[in-house]
Amino acid sequence: MTLKSALQDVKETTLAAVSGLLGKLAYLASLRRAQGRYEHWGMELVHGPESSERALKTAHAEIVAGVLRTPLALLVDDLDESSRGSGVAAHAYVEGMRDRFEDLLPGEHQASPAATHLNSVLLALSSLEKNRGRATRSIS
């Protein structure tokens, strides 16, 4: 059996089980606790608290960067995949992410350009989802 680094373990095992890029972002945000610390009992058991914390924070930063680099049209499809994977309607899913915005960014960078960009992406997805719902109802 080969040993994986904590970061490999997060990427290849933990996040591989989560649907969609937005799903991965929401999942990592859900692992944040007080003072922005990450807690994942399985990772901590295998890799220790410090390595686990570092790996989760690094993976979180990589996922945020991935979301910010992804074209909005692809994120609309990703929202469908992520919400379906969690069993929540797409609009409720993106609104849930907006409600927990302070946890979506690793570290304490709420006033950063990345935070502004991510907020704009989530707002756009929310608006697109609302309008898609209206368009579907008006066509039916």
**Res. 106: pLDDT tops 70:** yes
Domain of residue 10, residue span:
6-139
Q: How far apart (Å, rounded) are the C-alpha atoms in residues 38 and 40?
A: 7
In a domain, 132, yes or no: yes
pLDDT digits (tens, 9 = 90+) for 109-140: 667 899 999 999 999 999 999 887 655 444 44
The per-residue DSSP string of the chain comes to -PPPPHHHHIIIIIGGGS-SHHHHHHHHHHTB-GGG-B--HHHHHHH-HHHHHHHHHHHHHHHHHHHHHS-HHHHHHHHHHHHHHHTS-HHHHHHHHHHTHHHHSSSS-TTSHHHHHHHHHHHHHHHHHHHHHHHHHHH-
In a domain, 1, yes or no: no
pLDDT digits (tens, 9 = 90+) for 43-89: 999 999 999 999 999 999 999 999 999 999 999 999 999 999 899 99
Considering its fold, how many domains does the chain have in total? Answer: 1
In a domain, 73, yes or no: yes
In a domain, 95, yes or no: yes
**Res. 28: pLDDT tops 90:** yes
